[in-house]
């Protein structure tokens, strides 16, 4: 059984096209009826739109084989008064869902990904948190890759805000136990030990997966250009079981 990341694993960060071997990998899983779920931290595009896009470029993905944090928002955001940051599409989804995004008295500060956070954004976040709002991240990726550049991810921003305000935070997507548990239920797996996780994000995806008992495969087709950028800095018990240039090399494990 597999958990498979999308961005940087199945499609590239720049043109959003299939990475070498990605369509073949999914096709083999479908043909052999090997259970898998695409586990993505997508918060920039509506879930149905991303699934449709993947199918339009050659993948064969059923909506039942997919999960992202947007699908779980209602479980975390009970109060409609929030202060939200992220891409235009993300804010639009929140607005369509009935959330008041610019409340003067927000109950939650919700952070999605974008590349152009600024100090005014951080000032608004800090003020709301110091006034009692809870802090929620759509996911916890340490790095955000965009246009061949690497920016601080939501995980890095959450840690900065925690240090600034002493407020703990909640993570909706990867690598939270709750998110992975829901994905495990989709697979019908009894234990995480039955699952192998494939991702380009060691710290944001695979370290957590490893701690829950999954096998892990690190691919160098996304956030990191070489394994030496990150693996020597990790504790031995968190290192991935396999490291490949791309998912194409993982076909031999199926």
Mean pLDDT per 10-residue segment, the chain (254 residues): 97 94 98 98 89 98 96 86 92 89 88 93 97 96 90 96 97 97 97 98 96 98 95 96 98 94
* Contacting residues for 36 by C-beta, under 8 A, at least 6 apart: 1, 2, 3, 4, 26, 29, 65, 187
**Can you give the pLDDT at residue 251?**
97
**Global pTM?**
0.93
DSSP 42: -
Residue 67: strand pairing partners: 39
**Can you give the pLDDT at residue 240?**
98
Beta strands in the chain (DSSP E): 2-4, 36-39, 66-67, 82-85, 108-111, 134-137, 143-146, 149-152, 169-171, 196-199, 215-219, 242-244
* Contacting residues for 14 by C-beta, under 8 A, at least 6 apart: 147, 148
**Can you give the pLDDT at residue 151?**
93
Q: Which two tokens stand for residue 36?
A: 């898998």
**Can you give the pLDDT at residue 102?**
76
Domains, the chain, in order of start with CATH, read 2-68+175-253 (3.40.50.1000), 71-171 (3.40.50.1000)
**Can you give the pLDDT at residue 43?**
85
Number of residues written out for the chain: 254
**Can you give the pLDDT at residue 104?**
82
**Can you give the pLDDT at residue 115?**
86
**Contact in structure between 221 and 198 (CB atoms under 8 Å):** no
* Contacting residues for 246 by C-beta, under 8 A, at least 6 apart: 19, 20, 21, 22, 219, 220, 221
**Can you give the pLDDT at residue 103?**
73
CA dihedral 144, 118, 157, 166 (to 10 degrees): 180
């Amino acid at each position: 059984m597999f958990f498979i990341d999308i961005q940087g694993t199945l499609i590239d960060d720049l043109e959003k096209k299939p990475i070498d071997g990605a369509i073949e990998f999914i096709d083999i899983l479908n043909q052999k009826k090997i259970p898998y779920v695409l586990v993505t931290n997508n918060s920039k595009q509506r879930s149905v739109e991303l699934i449709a896009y993947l199918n339009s470029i050659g993948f064969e993905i059923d909506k039942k084989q997919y999960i992202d944090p947007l699908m779980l928002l209602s479980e975390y955001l009970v109060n409609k008064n929030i202060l939200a940051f992220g891409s235009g599409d993300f804010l639009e989804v929140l607005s369509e869902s009935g959330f008041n995004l610019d409340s003067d008295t927000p109950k939650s500060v919700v952070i999605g990904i974008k590349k152009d956070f600024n100090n005014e954004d951080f000032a608004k976040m800090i003020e709301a948190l110091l006034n009692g709002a809870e802090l929620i991240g759509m996911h916890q990726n340490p790095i955000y890759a965009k246009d061949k550049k690497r920016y601080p991810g939501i995980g890095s921003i959450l840690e900065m805000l925690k240090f600034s305000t002493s407020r703990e935070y909640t993570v909706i997507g990867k690598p939270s136990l709750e998110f992975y548990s829901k994905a495990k239920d989709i697979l019908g797996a009894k234990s995480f030990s039955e699952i192998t996780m494939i991702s380009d994000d060691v710290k944001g995806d695979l370290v957590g997966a490893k701690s829950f008992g999954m096998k892990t495969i690190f691919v160098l087709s996304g956030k990191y250009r070489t394994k030496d950028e990150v693996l020597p800095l990790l504790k031995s018990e968190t290192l991935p079981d396999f490291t490949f240039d791309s998912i194409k090399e993982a076909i031999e494990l199926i």
